[in-house]
Amino acid sequence: MSELFASDINSGNIKTVGLATGSTPLDFYKYVREAQPDCKAITTVNLDEYVGLAADHDQSYSYFMHEHLFNDVAFAKHFLPDGLAKDSAAECARYDEVLAENPIDWQLLGIGGNGHIGFNEPGASFEGTTQRVQLTEETLAANARFFDSIEEVPTEAYSMGIGSILNSKKIVLLAFGEEKAAAIKAMIEGPMTNEVPATALQNHPNVTVFLDEAAASLLT
Ligand code: F6R
């Protein structure tokens, strides 16, 4: 995984990388911090941000990215949705413009236990652009581990849509742990359905998936 990133970055063909937060990419970001590939010409675009959290809130995704990557590796520019935007529609339109101006060459994804990608929860359209979304109970419960209590977990987020994710030239999805096994099985072996958002990736021509044994354990 790390070698793949290094060789893709060194190829010089990547101008924009799409980035994810959460537990899954932590080792990957550690590797990038240690390896220090030359990212000075690369722009980053994140998948999502919680509604209602300021960029400097310690649970915001902006804060996460600075702590795990941006403070240690120099990039050209960073884009994340603004969790405090006053006008949601305008914020979604702004982010879609960011994506139009910075087409993603290399998109990193994790996956939710319910098959979400970004914060596109079950039922999300495969053509979706940036949206303000309601997080499911399952996602709130999963993310509560980062907060003092589940009540503190923001219930909404801005998320890049599935359509925008599918526009990325290359997608690299990581999944670790048995709590991801059912979603991975559905993503790879199940029928394409909005009920498992990650099945949208079945139609993408360039997806690489990295799994540990537990996440792969239900595959036939
Ligand atoms: C985060 C994101 C989410 C996570 C997913 C898995 O930016 O877009 O889709 O990738 O919720 O989260 P972890 O890695 O914490 O299990």
Span 100-139, pLDDT tens digits: 999 999 999 999 999 999 999 999 999 999 999 999 999 9
Pick the residue whose CA is nearest to atom 8 on ligand 1: 118
Beta strand pairing call for 43-46 and 131-134? unpaired
pLDDT, residue 46, reads: 98
Q: Does the pLDDT at position 2 exceed 80?
A: no
d(CA 114, CA 125): 15
**Ligand 1 pocket test, candidate residues 111, 160, 171, 212, most atoms within 8 A of CB:** 111
pLDDT tens digit string along 137-179?
Answer: 999 999 999 999 999 999 999 999 999 999 999 999 999 999 9
**Ligand 1 pocket test, candidate residues 21, 172, 173, most atoms within 8 A of CB:** 21
Distance 118 CA to ligand 1 centre (A): 7
pLDDT, residue 32, reads: 94
* Known catalytic membership, residue 48: yes
pLDDT, residue 6, reads: 83
Contacts with 163 (C-beta within 8 Å, 6 or more apart), sequence order: 125, 126, 127, 128, 129
Pick the residue whose CA is nearest to atom 12 on ligand 1: 22
Mean pLDDT, rounded, for 37-65: 96
Please, which residues bridge with residue 22 across strands?
A: none
* Known catalytic membership, residue 68: no
pLDDT, residue 10, reads: 85
pLDDT tens digit string along 4-28?
Answer: 888 888 888 999 999 999 999 999 9
- Domain 2-202 sits in CATH at 3.40.50.1360
Look up residue 174 and give its two tokens: 């990581």
Mean pLDDT, rounded, for 59-87: 98
* Known catalytic membership, residue 67: no
From the list 46, 68, 121, 143, the catalytic residue is 121
* Known catalytic membership, residue 8: no
Question: What mean pLDDT is reported for the chain?
Answer: 96
Please, which residues bridge with residue 210 across strands?
A: 174
d(CA 92, CA 100): 12
Q: What residues are in contact with ligand 1 under a 6 Å CB criterion?
A: 20-24, 47-48, 110-112, 116-119
Beta strand pairing call for 77-79 and 106-109? unpaired
Look up residue 85 and give its two tokens: 């935007």
pTM score, whole prediction:
0.96
Distance 183 CA to ligand 1 centre (A): 13
Mean pLDDT, rounded, for 185-196: 98
Cβ(65)–Cβ(33) below 8 Å = no
